[in-house]
Chain A
Amino acid sequence: MNAVAGRGRRAGVAEYIGEIAEHKGCRTSPGGSKTNCGSQAGQADLPKTIWEKVKNHPCYSEEAHHHYARMHVAVAPACNVQCNYCNRKYDCANESRPGVVSEKLTPEQAAKEVLAVATSIPQLTVVGIAGPGDPLANPEKTFKTFELVARAAPDIKLCLSTNGLALPDHVDSIARAKIDHVTITINTVDPEIGAKIYPWIFFNHKRYTGIEAARILIDRQLQGLQMLTERGILCKVNSVMIPEINDLHLVEVNKTVKARGAFLHNIMPLISAPEHGTVFGLNGQRGPTAQELKALQDGCEGETKVMRHCRQCRADAVGLLGEDRSAEFTTERIMAMDVNYDAEMRRAYQAKVEDERAAKVAARREELAELAGQKSEITLLVAAATKGSGLINEHFGHAKEFQVYELSTSGAKFVGHRRADVYCQGGYGEEDRLSTIIGAIKDCHAVFVAKIGDCPKRKLIEAGIDPVDQYAHEFIEKSAIAWFRCYLDKLQSGEILHVKRDNPAIHQKALTSAA
């Protein structure tokens, strides 16, 4: 067992991460220095070739995810690894988590769906295969789909997400298919920990269990990662944060995958509820709280870029990351459609999106200049209700999620999102919905909305969260920085006092695709 996992479990994640951060000379106080790493990395922080690859990929660039959409095509149902956080039997249309789909597609159906979606959602830039099983356990269907999509819509980027077990066997095919982004889920680099996450793997016509299974899987994952990065294929590593099993160990995973060339590390909270029917759901294994997740992400930042905007979407998700429009594009509907793929229309639309992005960046820069004279150690979180484009453009009561920004004198930094929907629970009234939302953002000092009713406004104030509607339809980051400037002014004049906020739980309920 390695040093990290062998440490006393009493030490909190945050405390432990603090030590690591200090040790490696990374910032120890949040907001204490400017961040130029993380998934927020912009044009200035990345080599040009990499920036070109990620700038319009919502899953690889935090900045892009406000503007560009992705879709997953569910052509790969078979899997070669059993994971304790996955249950392949369960499919509720209102369920949002990896491994779940409503329909399986043939490669031909998938290619047509891509064209139909790319025509109605012109900001769609990425098509991925993420399951519902493992794409590389279904190599024929996966590569046939990529071939058909590349032929019909050459402007769309291709990516895939794998558990890595079969990866070393398919690196050549991946390179040939011009797949320039590959995500590998690596939850541990320690076979003993792996044995607690994976009951078995199927490899070389044999089922392996326990530590032996985990050792084979980890070896294949790391070998595949290295083979891909040596060929210049961009790799993201996904890790599921499972408290008391791999949480502290993920720092070690972060270092290991960085050493093998991973571009981005995405640490996601375990989704686990009894109704999912997973091993972890049924044995009561809890997921991390929002603060535990953030502490780990903060601690890993600097080793490898850390992604914080992942929505852990379904293997057939369609749309911007915060939304799922897959229900609009059922196979039946797609097959009946007469699709006319208009690359020119898509180019024109995306040019408009680029103008919008540039305006957002310029607005942030101007507002930051205003903040330049301010000196303060304070960092705090704010939430924003948005439908995309980096704007405060959603009504408080309609928001299904809130984007969370960390504010300091260095500016506004995207640090995550909070689910606020209460679908799939049934019978919840307005009152419960409001308390659910307040619970989800109770670590925030303010919430920025396009509009808000009097009752929720009052409740938010009672809960110590400032409801801010004066920046309706303006850019989130610019508005948040402006608000923070006023906040610091008020503190200085003694008008208000700075208080620390609570630690919210992460919402485990399903995200529905119904609007």
Chain B
Amino acid sequence: MPFKIIASQCTGCSACEPLCPNVAISEKGGTFSIDPKKCTECVGYFDEPQCVAVCPVDDTCVVDTSWPRRQAQA
């Protein structure tokens, strides 16, 4: 499952955008969103999803359950 950003909680700080190894994050109207087709949950790149690790507001980058899990966590 890819990650999604809860827009109402996003501060628009942009910290996640350059960290995404898949260039899946972009700005729309002052907040950021993740392209679910591009998100790989950072598997194969980093030990933890970068957007989740850097986001200043807890529970703002969360798993998008409407999509199938991309890869089971090791």
Contact = CB atoms under 8 A, between A and B. Distances in A.
B48 interface: yes
Contact of B13 (A79, A205, A206, A207): A79
B26 to A, nearest CB: 15
Contact of B15 (A80, A104, A205, A206): A80
A88 B48 contact: no
B13 A88 contact: yes
B12 A202 contact: no
A194 interface: no
A206 B48 contact: yes
A77 B12 contact: yes
A48 interface: no
A241 B39 CA distance: 42
Contacts of A133: 13, 15
Nearest to A208: B53
Nearest to A87: B56
A78 interface: yes
Nearest to A83: B56
B48 A78 contact: no
Interface string A63-78: 0000000000000011
A137 interface: yes
Interface string A190-217: 0000000000001001110000000000
Interface in A87-143: 88-89, 104, 132-133, 137-138
A206 B52 CA distance: 10
Interface residues of B, number: 15
B15 A89 contact: no
SS class, residues of chain B in contact with chain A: loop
Interface residues of A, number: 16
Nearest to A139: B18
Contacts of B19: 205
A202 B49 CA distance: 12
A77 B15 CA distance: 7
B54 interface: yes
A77 B13 contact: yes
Contact of A88 (B46, B50, B53, B57): B57
A82 interface: yes
Nearest to A78: B15
Nearest to A89: B11
Which 6 pairs from chain A and chain B are nearest by CB? Answer: A78-B15, A207-B53, A77-B13, A202-B54, A88-B11, A88-B56
Interface of A: 77-80, 82, 88-89, 104, 132-133, 137-138, 202, 205-207
Given A88-B11, A137-B15, A202-B54, 20 more contacts: A77-B11, A77-B12, A77-B13, A77-B14, A78-B13, A78-B15, A79-B15, A80-B15, A80-B54, A89-B9, A104-B12, A132-B13, A133-B13, A202-B15, A202-B53, A205-B46, A205-B50, A206-B47, A206-B53, A207-B53
